[in-house]
Amino acid sequence: MHLRFLCHAHRTLVEQSRSRALSVWDLSQQKALLFQQRGELERAVAAAGGALEAAEVLLTMHRKATAIDLHRFADAACLTLRLIRDLRQPELTRRLLCSCIAKLQPHIVSGAHQQTALACCQRLMEVRTPSERTHTHEPVPNSAGADNRRLH
């Protein structure tokens, strides 16, 4: 994933243990939802992004991801995408969407949970608003360096 929400130290901790990754995912999702309810969208994005990174680690930690791993990743990705979209960052939203679908692609092509991976991709695609679906031909302002942002 091109976006990084966790600092290097936290990312390393998440990668060391499945239980740590699960804890970070759970706590970050809860924080994101709380910040979203409070209207603190930037803080919500940072927390949701942390959950997304933890879910990505869980998805790639084992050679065979479970259906739960796929759903966890999709949940975190959908939340993060909605929040970034709500901040009116269409280019960043598209980049994250493409990156998330790319993470799911190996599970679509092969594996025991192909249908689950396809369903997760469908959920990600549905995050876009109707206006984004009909106006995709309009130019989007260039946000140089957006894929290198650190929100943690």
Global pTM? Answer: 0.79
pLDDT digits (tens, 9 = 90+) for 1-60: 456 788 888 888 889 999 999 999 999 999 999 999 999 999 999 999 999 999 999 998
Residue 108 pLDDT more than 60?
yes
The region of weakest confidence among 34-43, 68-77, 137-146 is 137-146
Closest by Cα among 78, 92, 65 to 122:
78
Q: Measured between alpha carbons, how far is residue 133 from residues 94, 129, 137, 140 in Å?
A: 11, 7, 9, 14
% of residues, the chain, pLDDT over 70: 80
Rounded to the nearest angstrom, the gap between the alpha carbon of residue 44 and the centroid of all alpha carbons in its chain is 13
Q: CB–CB of 51/36 below 8 Å? A: no
The larger pLDDT score, comparing residue 20 to residue 110, is at 20
Q: How confident is the model at residue 132 (pLDDT cuts 50, 70, 90)?
A: very low
Residue 85 pLDDT more than 70?
yes
Instruction: Give the type of residue at 19.
Output: S
CATH 1.25.40.10 assigned to 10-129: yes
Place of tokens 């803080």: 43
